[in-house]
Each structure stands twice: as structure tokens, then as C-alpha cells.
């Protein structure tokens, strides 16, 4: 009987491995490099020049999301304009922004300087801005385990939309302490808002999906160290295999202990890491200076090398 | 037996946080707690530093105020000479405003690497000259053709540092081996050969001073299976601190930097662990909180409980030039905290210069202070032999403008459940029956001694409250303070535990946060447990000679130092002895 169970288990697991839907290699190499996101439809109704406008959550003295029209050139002082939907400042200060292929925007709350506008209980909610109307609403409330020892002020820290699987990836550090990294990276179905997978024990700020190495992988910029990790993803966007360390920013740049805030890939597949100081506190953003680090993947030795 | 062991272990853990490094006794010891943050702000008095200072002063007095490469050969001399004649290479030699010299030093002159040499130049004739600006933390690199004695190119690299040369290596070593903290940690005075001095970046150079942005290196001393990192600041010529690590494989070896040393030590020894003081009749516990500054608790004087706890809840900073512009800053632990301005040193206990007593002090500092929009706050508790105590706070600037008003929100939870609070009115004390607030202003009436309030227990003993009116000889110019009295509840938390930010930055009236515990229905406070809130209002000033809540950078020997103009505030509590 025990032997039968064992055989069944083997068959089942081999089916899981064997039944996993394969991704076309040409498609894999495009992931994260060829942009798939669309501009939100409501941009056209704002009266701003949409060709030089972008969404921001870091406008000084502006709470929440804001659409910024950038000046045409340095002398165009009147060219800088902003536009805000009434709902965009209702949920406190916001952090990362990501957009899907229909122009829907997803963002997460991140406190700035203090917690007055970002209460702890609202820190684990993903907010969605409808492409057509521009209205912002709570989209998914993610479960967290906050203990009495938790003193860090953050919940969700990064968010990224992967068009290939229509999944949102985000990470909460709400349960993390100096002694224990309790972060959870969630894969969330962008259609339903349901959690499709979880990766436990990693605090991340930067998240990005890319296939440049020949594998569709989620790149994870650690919030605890200067390391960048990655984990393989299935075609459906679930986590597969083990987390591996790919890159360290240790001793790079002016500070030498930067944490990756944002990871993106350029059209050549080079990884661009935008990194800042991060120590799980609410140090004023005016202090924070960002550095850009570029890495290139070397197929021959399967390593990411620092370019500049 | 188990209890006995537990007591010994606790004692060892507490002792290891005493900021006196000694060799950790086993590999399980927490090296963060045995680390030492150097408390000595002045340079060591050793010949190499005296010689170095003399050389710096001499160099800064020259027409081209640059420290040249020591023991340069003839080719290196030509290369650095050509570079220093170039205007572009000299761009950052003087402060453009004051025309005072920055400390610049030629670190290295060597044959340029093949990939750096432009087409058309003979490899053997192209030299790379690297100059470091200590004040700006900037590297300037020139490529020089020594055959034509011409500059090929000049590039500046802000916030970067060249490899240090052998002279600076020796200097760092001398500072390390002569530092009392290093000697104490090792248990002997090391020789220079004890430090790992391989010329690669993986040994001496593998550290940074991320906060000060100074040039730092870490001579490392091996003892048994452990390595002692001594972080040396070559800009200020002093030891930053020391910390042990396990000696492991190079790829897994832990790098100790300024930030790691400071933050880990403070988190381990001052945020996680409650410390105690027992001095001149005063006994208390203290800890740095996540967002309420340095909290004292269980404060006894001559074995009588005086205060349940006291802390600094918030700093509200409002700039009058721009409506609604400012910050509401919490102060506290450097990591995993809701603090916007963090502790970067341990609490200090020192003797009071006047009056007989001691001070418990904690500072909180933004990384780029005193640059604009960066802050430095000090929290100070004073305890006197006669039972008086003072709870004070100061801003050391510099903030985002010269039109700022700082409002520190202090909270003191008094011991005793039969307390009453009264205010001096003309000729007598008038009791407060319900929770309320009051502003100290030009119309305020004080007793002849300068007291405004009184808090007493059922026996009539307690404290007079003397608000700041510029009388405390600490530079304070008066507090213009709001005082709030609220009732302490056993069944609801109104700030006994860590409070998140209590109020916004920019209210200019009594709405600084404590009123939330009064309004809309003030409670009866007679014969109750009482909480005393004090919100001073301190207007900054950058007028020359009148600076207040302010800080200014200046150049001394080519590197930046800071003048501070603190605005201390806070009331004195004087015992009422019936």
C-alpha cells in the first residue's frame, strides 16, 4: 500500500513537471524587454500633452498619484503641469506604479516621513486606477502577519505587472523585523485580484520579470541587503525552483550599501538597477539619492557582469 | 540552577553593550553588541597625525594648495606638475564662495591602463594623475602625456574615492594601532604588521563611511578565528569604531562599514535592550524607541517612584513662508522604525557642569546634516542632587529655511494615582478640575521663583513646573509653550506605548496632537493619574550673531566642520516638599 502511494506520488509529481506548459523561447527572450504596457485611456481627457506626461508618486507636497506633464525644454517653465483625479489622494502617499496592456494602473501605499496618511492597516492593499475612467479604488487586500515585535512602518514595497502571464508581483515586508526577514512575495491574478502563488521569507523592494537569460525569471531586489536574487517562473507566472543570488551592489556607487528600488531591462537586455539607501525607517526622501547601476548578462559563464 | 545561569547570561549580554570592546569569548557572541562606537571626537595625539596636520597646513598655504604625491619619482613629478598647471584639473581646489582652499591630495600617479589611452598616444608616455578632494568627496583624474607635457583629458567623479596610496595606508594603520578602542579590543597594542595589508581592495579598502561620506578604510586584525575591523576616517583622522567578525571564506566574509557598525550597535544595545542608571539617588531605565525618541521609565528619586515614563513624541516643523509646508518628524531607532530622523550615536551620560547632577542625552541626525532640509535633534534629561529634574529638547537646524518654527512634543507620565494639577493665578494656585491646555505667553503670570504650574499628590508633595524663559543658561530664549494635562487610563492607551506621529507639521495653534486626548469631552482630572504634555515653540534664526535652531558649515584645514546654534527648550521640575 505504501509502495503504491509512493508510485502515485512520483507519477503525480512527474506530471506536474511534465505537464507544465512550455513557453516559446522567442517569447521568453522578449519578456521584460519588449514593452507591452499601454498608456491609460483617461490620459486623453486630462488636457495635458500625453506625449510628455507620466504618472508619479513622488511629486513634492503632493499626496498620492499625480499625472505630470514635463516641460518641452529647460526654458519652458510654464510647460510643467500636473493633473490629479479626485480619488488619487484619498488613500495616502503611494509608491511603485505599474501598468498593464490595457492601460490599467496599479499602485501601492508607502508612507512618506510619517504615518499620518498611511495607517498600518491600509499598507497591504493594491490600488487600481481604471484605464477608462481614471478612478482609483482598492483592488486587492493581501494577508499579512504583523506581530507585536514588528516596528517597521512598511507594508507593500514594490509592484510589477508581467504581461506574459497577466500577473502582478508585489512584496509585503509588514511582518519583518531586524532579527527575521518575514517578507512575502505575492503573485496576484490581475484580472481577479486573487493570490495565485506566494514566496515566503524574502523582503523585496524592486521586482521585475525578464527572459533574457532564456528563462522567465522574477528578479528580486532585496530590501535587507544589496543583493539581487531571481526565481524561475512558470508560463502561468507561478514560482518554480529555488531562489538564486545573481548580483550584489555591495561597495558599488557612492554609498556602497544601496538597495535596488527599481529593476528594468533596456532593449539590449541590460539590467538597469535604480538603487537607494533603505533601512526600514522614514528618513525624509530629500536625503535620498538614487544611483543607476547597469549589468549585462554573459551567456558563456551564465553571470551578470557590472558595466557601469 | 537554571535561573542562576539565566542571570549570568543576562549579565554577560548587558555587559557586552557597554561600548568597551573586548575579545568576544565565543563565536556565538553577538558581535554587534561588542562593537564600539568611538566617543572621542578629537584626533589622537600621536606623531604621525601631528606631522600630517603640519603637512596639510603647509600645503594649504601654497599658491596651489594641494598635497603632492609623497616620494614621487621624476616621471610622476612631471605628470602631477602638468596636471596641476591645468585650470580644469584645478577647478575644485578652492571653495568658489569663500575662496578658501579645500583639502586636495594627489593619491596616485601611474602609467595609464591600455583601455584608457586615446588613439594616437604612445602607451608608455600617458600617465594617470588621481587627485582626491576631501571636502567634496570628489575624485579628479587627469591623463597626461609626459613627452609633450600636455593634458590629454580631465574628468571629475563626484562621490568617489581613488585607491589610497602607501602613505595613507600607513597613516590609517597608525591611527588604528594607537587607538585605545583597538588596543582594548585586542587586549594588546598591535604592531603594524598585524593588520592585513594586501594591496588589493578586498582587505584594507573594503569599507565606506556611507553617512559622513568621508574617506574611510578598515585595517583588520586577526585574533584566533576572528577579525577585528577598525574603521578609520582619513578625512577627520580618527577612529570611527571597531567591530569583530568571524574569519570566513572571502566570498562570504562580512563587510563592516560605518553605517553597519553604528546601526547594528544602536539597534542591539539601545533599541532592543533597556539600560539602567543608578546615580546620586536617581534610578531609572532608558531605551531608544521606534518613534518616541529616548524614553526614560520607572524613574525613582530616593526610592520614591516619580515618573512612570517620559519621552519625545514628535517634532513638528512648520515654515511660515509657504502655507502648510513642513514636516512632522518622529525620532527613534535607526532601522525598523517609524523615525524620520534617527539615532546615530548611543545615549550619553555626563556630569552637569552646574548644580550637581547628571545628564542623559541622545542625539538624532539626518545623514546630510547640516545641508538644507536635513535635521539634527537633541533630547536631554537633567537630574539634580536636590531632586530637581528637567526634560529638554533642542533643534540644531538646519531644516529647509530660515522661517521655521520647531515644536517638540514631550510627554511625561507622572507616578501616583491621587495627583492634582494647578496653575499660578495672580497670588494663588488655581486647581484644574478637567483636562485642558494652556499657552505660555507674554501675559503669563509666574510665582516670584518663575513657576507656572504645580503637580502634587494627596500629601501635597510633588513638583513645581518652571517653563523655559531663557533662564537655564543653555542658550534657550524661552519656550512659548503649550501645556496639556490629560488623564492616564489603565484601560486605554493614550501614549504609554510607542505613539505613531501624533499631529501634522503645520498647525500653528494648540492642535499639536495632545488635544486629541482632551477633546471633545474633557475628563475630570482631580485626584487622578496625570500625563503632562509640553510643546515648546522655537522660531529659528539665521541672522549673523543671532543664530538659533541653526547650523553652519565652515572650512577648517580644508575640510568641512559645523558650527551649531541649538535652541534648547523644556521645563524644570522643582520638588514641592510639604
Tens digits of residue pLDDT in B73-92: 999 999 999 999 999 999 99
Look up residue B199 and give its three cell numbers.
Answer: 594591496
Look up residue B126 and give its three cell numbers.
Answer: 600617458
- Average pLDDT score over chain B: 90
Taking CB atoms and an 8 Å limit, are B260 and A256 in contact across chains? no
Q: Report the alpha-carbon angle A255-B226-B242, nearest 5.
A: 45
- pLDDT over threshold 80, residue B41: no
Look up residue A157 and give its three cell numbers.
Answer: 514595497
User: B311 near B295, Cβ under 8 Å?
Assistant: yes
At B301, give phi and psi (nearest 5°).
-125, 125
Which residues contact residue A25 at a Cβ distance below 8 angstroms, ignoring those fewer than 6 apart? Answer: A214
Query: In the predicted model, what is the mean pLDDT of residues B56-62?
Result: 97
Closest CA to A128 of A77, A91, A157, A179: A91
Which residues contact residue A72 at a Cβ distance below 8 angstroms, ignoring those fewer than 6 apart? Answer: A52, A79
Look up residue A89 and give its three cell numbers.
Answer: 489622494
Range of weakest confidence among A37-41, A73-77, B226-230: A73-77
Task: Return the C-alpha torsion angle B229, B234, B240, B243, nearest 10.
Answer: 0
Range of weakest confidence among B42-46, B144-148, B465-469: B42-46
**Alpha-carbon A57 to chain mean position:** 14
Q: What is the DSSP letter of B474?
A: S
Which residues contact residue B42 at a Cβ distance below 8 angstroms, ignoring those fewer than 6 apart? Answer: B238
Closest CA to B468 of B482, B455, B454: B482
Closest CA to B465 of B578, B576, B572: B572
What would the pLDDT profile of B246-298 be if each residue is shown by its tens digit? 876 655 667 899 999 999 999 999 999 999 999 999 999 999 999 999 999 99
Range of weakest confidence among B1-5, B369-373, B527-531: B1-5
pLDDT at A146: 75
User: A283 near B342, Cβ under 8 Å?
Assistant: yes
Which residues contact residue B249 at a Cβ distance below 8 angstroms, ignoring those fewer than 6 apart? Answer: none
- pLDDT over threshold 90, residue B7: no
Closest residue to B334, CB basis, from A251, A279, A287: A279
User: A83 near A153, Cβ under 8 Å?
Assistant: no
Which residues from B are below 8 Å from A153, CB to CB? 337-338
Range of weakest confidence among A7-16, A208-217, B221-230: A7-16
Q: Tell me the β-bridge partners of B139.
A: B132, B157
A107 vs B202, higher pLDDT: A107
The beta strands (E) that lie in B200-237 are given as: 216-217, 220-223, 226-233
Closest residue to A151, CB basis, from B255, B259, B337: B337
pLDDT at B194: 65
Distance, CA of B221 to CA of B218 (rounded, Å):
10
pLDDT at B546: 96
- Cis check for the bond before B520: say yes or no (omega within 30 of 0): yes
Query: Does residue B203 sit in helix, strand or coil?
Result: coil
> Residue B452 class from Cβ within 10 Å (0-12 exposed, 13-18 middle, 19+ buried)?
buried
Pairing of strands B331-332, B341-343: parallel
> Residue A305 class from Cβ within 10 Å (0-12 exposed, 13-18 middle, 19+ buried)?
exposed
Task: Please tell me which residue of chain B has the smallest CA distance to A282.
Answer: B340
Closest residue to B504, CB basis, from A61, A116, A253: A116
Distance, CA of A145 to CA of A155 (rounded, Å):
10
Closest CA to A160 of A149, A168, A151: A168
Q: Which of B340, B371, B375 to mutate to test the interface with A (most CBs of A within 10 A)?
A: B340
Pairs from B137-144 (Cβ < 8 Å, separation ≥ 24): B137/A254, B137/B161, B137/B213, B137/B214, B137/B215, B138/B92, B140/B89, B140/B91, B140/B92, B140/B104, B142/B82, B142/B83, B142/B86, B142/B89, B143/B112, B143/B116, B143/B117, B143/B118, B144/B78, B144/B79, B144/B82, B144/B83
Query: In the predicted model, what is the mean pLDDT of residues B512-529?
Result: 96
- pLDDT over threshold 50, residue A11: no
**Alpha-carbon A32 to chain mean position:** 12
Which residues from A are below 8 Å from B340, CB to CB? 113-114, 281-284
Distance, CA of A203 to CA of A181 (rounded, Å):
6
Which residues contact residue B347 at a Cβ distance below 8 angstroms, ignoring those fewer than 6 apart? Answer: B270, B275, B286, B288, B294, B360, B361, B362
- pLDDT over threshold 90, residue B125: yes
Percent of chain A whose predicted confidence (pLDDT) is above 70: 92
pLDDT at B198: 39
Look up residue B528 and give its three cell numbers.
Answer: 487622578
Taking CB atoms and an 8 Å limit, are A284 and B263 in contact across chains? no
Closest residue to B328, CB basis, from A114, A178, A281: A114
Split at pLDDT 50, 70, 90, the class of B19 is low
Closest CA to B391 of B381, B379, B405, B403: B381
pLDDT at B9: 37
pLDDT at A144: 83
Closest CA to A51 of A70, A37, A33, A26: A70
| Sole residue written with cell 578629537 | B42
Interface subset of A 85-124, CB within 8 angstroms of B = 113-116, 120
Pairing of strands A195-200, A204-210: unpaired
At A14, give phi and psi (nearest 5°).
-70, -30
Percent of chain B whose predicted confidence (pLDDT) is above 90: 77
Pairing of strands B66-67, B104-111: parallel
Pairing of strands B226-233, B238-246: antiparallel
B207 vs B547, higher pLDDT: B547
Chain A nearest CA to B346, separation (Å): 18
Q: Tell me the β-bridge partners of A170.
A: A159, A186
> Residue B429 class from Cβ within 10 Å (0-12 exposed, 13-18 middle, 19+ buried)?
middle
- pLDDT over threshold 70, residue A108: yes
pLDDT at B42: 78
Chain B nearest CA to A87, separation (Å): 21
Does B290 touch chain A if contact means CB atoms closer than 8 Å?
Answer: yes
Does B501 touch chain A if contact means CB atoms closer than 8 Å?
Answer: yes
pLDDT at A151: 83
Write the ipTM.
Answer: 0.89
Split at pLDDT 50, 70, 90, the class of B14 is very low
- pLDDT over threshold 60, residue B199: no
pLDDT at B254: 76
- pLDDT over threshold 60, residue A6: no
Closest residue to B373, CB basis, from A251, A277, A286: A286
pLDDT at B485: 98
pLDDT at B43: 81
pLDDT at B225: 80
Closest CA to B315 of B396, B257, B242, B388: B396
Buried/exposed A217-232: b ≥16 CB within 10 Å, e otherwise: bbbbbbbbbbbbbbbb
Distance, CA of B74 to CA of A53 (rounded, Å):
58
Split at pLDDT 50, 70, 90, the class of B196 is low
Identify the sign of the CA torsion B233, B238, B136, B149: negative
pTM reported for the whole predicted model: 0.91
Distance, CA of A32 to CA of A23 (rounded, Å):
14
Query: In the predicted model, what is the mean pLDDT of residues A267-275?
Result: 96
Which residues contact residue B473 at a Cβ distance below 8 angstroms, ignoring those fewer than 6 apart? Answer: B354
Does A192 touch chain B if contact means CB atoms closer than 8 Å?
Answer: no
Closest residue to A281, CB basis, from B257, B260, B342: B342
Taking CB atoms and an 8 Å limit, are A257 and B342 in contact across chains? no
What would the pLDDT profile of A115-144 be if each residue is shown by its tens digit? 999 998 899 999 999 999 999 999 999 998
Chain A nearest CA to B419, separation (Å): 32
A108 vs B491, higher pLDDT: A108
Query: In the predicted model, what is the mean pLDDT of residues B32-47?
Result: 86
| Sole residue written with cell 483592488 | A139
pLDDT at B249: 64
Q: Which of B337, B502, B506 to mutate to test the interface with A (most CBs of A within 10 A)?
A: B337
Which residues from A are below 8 Å from B208, CB to CB? 251, 255-257
pLDDT at B426: 81
Look up residue A307 and give its three cell numbers.
Answer: 558595466
Chain B nearest CA to A239, separation (Å): 27
Distance, CA of A73 to CA of A63 (rounded, Å):
26
Split at pLDDT 50, 70, 90, the class of A49 is very high
User: B217 near B172, Cβ under 8 Å?
Assistant: yes
Split at pLDDT 50, 70, 90, the class of A20 is low
- pLDDT over threshold 50, residue A15: no
Which residues from A are below 8 Å from B370, CB to CB? none
What would the pLDDT profile of B456-504 be if each residue is shown by its tens digit? 999 999 999 999 999 999 999 999 999 999 999 988 889 999 998 889 9
Chain B nearest CA to A222, separation (Å): 15
Split at pLDDT 50, 70, 90, the class of B128 is very high
pLDDT at A93: 96
User: A249 near A226, Cβ under 8 Å?
Assistant: yes
Query: In the predicted model, what is the mean pLDDT of residues A223-243?
Result: 96
pLDDT at B218: 93
Amino acid at each position: 500500500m505504501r509502495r503504491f502511494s509512493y508510485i502515485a506520488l512520483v507519477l503525480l509529481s512527474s506530471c506536474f513537471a511534465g505537464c507544465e506548459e512550455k513557453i516559446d523561447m522567442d517569447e521568453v527572450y522578449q519578456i521584460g524587454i519588449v514593452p507591452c504596457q499601454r498608456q491609460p485611456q483617461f490620459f486623453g481627457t486630462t488636457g495635458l500633452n500625453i506625449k510628455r506626461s507620466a504618472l508619479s508618486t513622488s511629486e513634492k507636497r503632493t499626496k498620492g498619484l499625480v499625472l505630470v506633464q514635463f516641460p518641452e525644454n529647460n526654458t519652458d517653465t510654464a510647460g510643467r503641469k500636473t493633473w490629479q483625479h479626485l480619488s488619487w489622494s484619498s488613500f495616502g502617499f503611494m509608491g511603485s506604479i505599474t501598468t498593464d496592456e490595457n492601460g490599467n494602473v496599479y499602485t501601492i501605499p508607502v508612507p512618506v516621513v510619517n504615518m499620518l496618511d498611511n495607517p498600518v492597516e491600509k499598507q497591504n492593499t493594491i490600488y487600481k486606477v481604471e484605464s477608462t475612467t481614471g478612478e482609483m479604488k482598492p483592488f486587492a487586500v493581501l494577508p499579512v502577519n504583523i506581530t507585536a515585535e514588528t516596528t517597521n512602518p512598511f507594508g507593500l514595497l514594490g509592484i510589477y505587472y508581467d504581461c506574459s502571464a497577466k500577473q502582478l508581483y508585489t512584496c509585503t515586508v509588514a511582518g519583518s523585523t531586524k532579527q527575521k526577514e518575514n517578507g512575502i512575495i505575492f503573485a496576484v491574478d490581475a484580472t481577479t485580484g486573487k493570490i495565485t502563488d506566494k514566496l515566503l521569507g524574502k523582503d523585496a523592494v524592486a521586482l521585475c520579470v525578464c527572459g533574457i537569460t532564456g528563462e522567465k525569471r522574477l528578479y528580486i531586489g532585496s530590501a535587507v541587503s544589496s543583493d539581487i536574487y531571481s526565481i524561475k517562473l512558470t508560463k502561468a507566472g507561478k514560482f518554480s525552483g529555488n531562489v538564486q543570488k545573481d548580483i550584489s551592489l555591495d561597495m558599488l556607487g557612492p554609498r556602497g550599501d544601496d538597495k535596488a528600488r527599481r529593476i528594468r531591462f533596456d532593449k539590449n537586455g541590460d539590467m538597469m538597477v535604480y538603487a537607494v539607501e533603505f533601512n526600514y525607517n522614514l528618513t525624509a526622501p530629500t536625503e535620498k539619492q538614487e544611483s543607476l547601476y547597469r549589468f549585462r548578462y554573459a551567456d558563456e559563464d551564465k553571470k551578470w557582469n557590472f558595466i557601469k | 540552577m537554571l535561573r542562576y545561569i539565566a542571570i549570568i547570561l543576562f549579565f554577560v549580554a548587558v555587559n557586552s553593550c557597554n561600548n568597551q570592546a573586548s575579545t568576544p569569548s565565543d563565536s556565538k557572541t553577538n558581535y554587534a553588541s561588542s562593537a564600539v562606537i568611538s566617543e572621542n571626537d578629537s584626533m589622537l595625539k600621536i606623531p604621525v597625525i601631528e606631522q600630517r596636520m603640519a603637512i596639510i597646513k603647509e600645503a594649504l598655504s601654497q599658491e596651489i594648495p594641494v598635497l603632492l604625491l609623497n616620494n614621487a619619482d621624476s616621471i610622476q613629478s612631471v605628470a602631477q606638475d602638468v596636471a596641476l598647471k591645468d585650470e580644469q584639473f584645478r577647478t575644485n581646489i578652492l571653495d568658489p564662495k569663500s575662496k578658501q582652499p579645500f583639502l586636495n591630495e594627489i593619491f596616485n600617479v601611474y602609467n595609464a591602463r591600455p583601455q584608457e589611452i586615446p588613439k594616437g598616444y604612445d602607451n608608455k608616455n600617458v600617465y594617470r594623475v588621481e587627485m582626491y578632494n576631501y571636502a567634496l568627496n570628489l575624485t579628479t583624474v587627469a591623463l597626461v602625456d609626459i613627452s609633450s607635457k600636455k593634458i590629454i583629458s580631465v574628468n571629475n567623479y563626484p562621490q568617489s574615492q581613488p585607491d589610497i596610496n602607501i602613505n595613507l595606508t600607513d597613516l590609517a594603520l597608525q591611527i588604528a594601532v594607537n587607538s585605545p578602542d583597538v588596543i582594548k579590543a585586542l587586549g594588546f597594542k598591535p604592531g603594524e604588521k598585524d593588520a592585513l595589508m594586501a594591496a588589493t581592495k578586498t582587505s584594507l579598502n573594503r569599507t565606506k563611511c556611507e553617512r559622513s561620506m568621508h574617506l574611510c578604510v578598515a585595517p583588520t586584525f586577526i585574533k584566533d578565528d576572528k577579525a577585528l575591523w577598525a574603521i578609520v576616517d582619513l578625512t577627520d583622522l580618527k577612529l570611527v569604531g571597531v567591530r569583530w567578525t568571524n574569519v570566513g571564506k572571502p566570498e562570504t566574509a562580512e563587510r563592516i562599514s560605518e553605517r553597519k557598525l553604528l546601526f547594528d550597535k544602536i539597534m542591539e544595545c539601545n533599541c532592543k535592550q533597556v539600560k539602567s542608571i543608578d546615580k546620586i539617588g536617581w534610578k531609572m531605565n532608558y531605551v531608544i524607541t521606534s518613534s518616541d525618541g529616548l524614553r526614560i521609565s520607572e524613574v525613582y528619586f530616593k526610592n520614591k517612584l516619580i515618573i512612570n515614563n517620559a519621552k519625545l513624541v514628535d517634532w513638528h516643523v512648520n515654515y511660515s513662508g509657504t502655507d502648510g509646508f513642513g514636516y512632522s518628524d518622529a525620532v527613534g531607532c535607526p532601522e525598523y522604525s517609524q523615525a524620520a530622523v534617527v539615532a546615530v550615536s548611543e545615549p550619553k551620560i555626563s556630569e552637569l557642569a552646574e548644580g550637581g547632577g547628571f545628564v542623559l542625552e541622545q542625539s538624532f541626525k539626518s545623514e546630510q546634516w547640516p545641508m538644507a532640509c536635513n535635521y539634527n535633534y537633541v533630547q536631554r534629561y537633567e537630574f539634580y542632587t536636590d531632586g530637581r529634574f528637567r526634560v529638554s529638547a533642542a533643534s540644531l537646524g538646519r531644516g529647509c529655511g530660515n522661517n521655521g518654527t520647531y515644536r517638540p512634543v514631550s510627554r511625561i507620565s507622572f507616578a501616583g494615582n491621587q495627583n492634582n494639577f494647578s496653575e499660578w493665578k495672580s497670588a494663588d494656585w488655581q486647581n484644574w478640575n478637567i483636562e485642558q491646555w494652556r499657552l505660555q505667553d507674554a501675559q503669563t503670570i509666574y510665582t516670584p521663583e518663575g513657576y507656572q504650574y504645580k503637580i502634587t499628590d494627596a500629601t501635597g508633595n510633588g513638583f513645581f513646573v518652571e517653563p523655559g524663559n531663557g533662564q537655564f543658561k543653555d542658550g534657550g530664549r524661552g519656550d512659548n509653550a503649550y501645556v496639556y494635562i490629560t488623564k492616564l487610563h489603565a484601560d486605554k492607551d493614550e501614549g504609554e506605548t510607542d505613539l505613531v506621529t501624533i499631529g501634522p507639521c503645520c498647525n500653528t495653534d494648540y492642535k499639536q496632537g495632545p488635544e486629541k486626548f482632551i477633546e471633545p469631552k474633557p475628563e475630570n482630572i482631580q485626584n487622578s493619574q496625570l500625563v503632562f504634555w509640553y510643546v515648546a515653540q522655537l522660531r529659528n534664526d539665521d541672522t549673523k550673531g543671532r543664530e538659533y535652531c541653526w547650523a553652519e558649515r565652515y572650512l577648517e584645514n580644508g575640510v568641512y566642520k559645523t558650527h551649531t546654534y541649538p535652541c534648547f527648550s523644556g521645563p524644570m521640575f522643582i520638588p514641592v516638599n510639604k
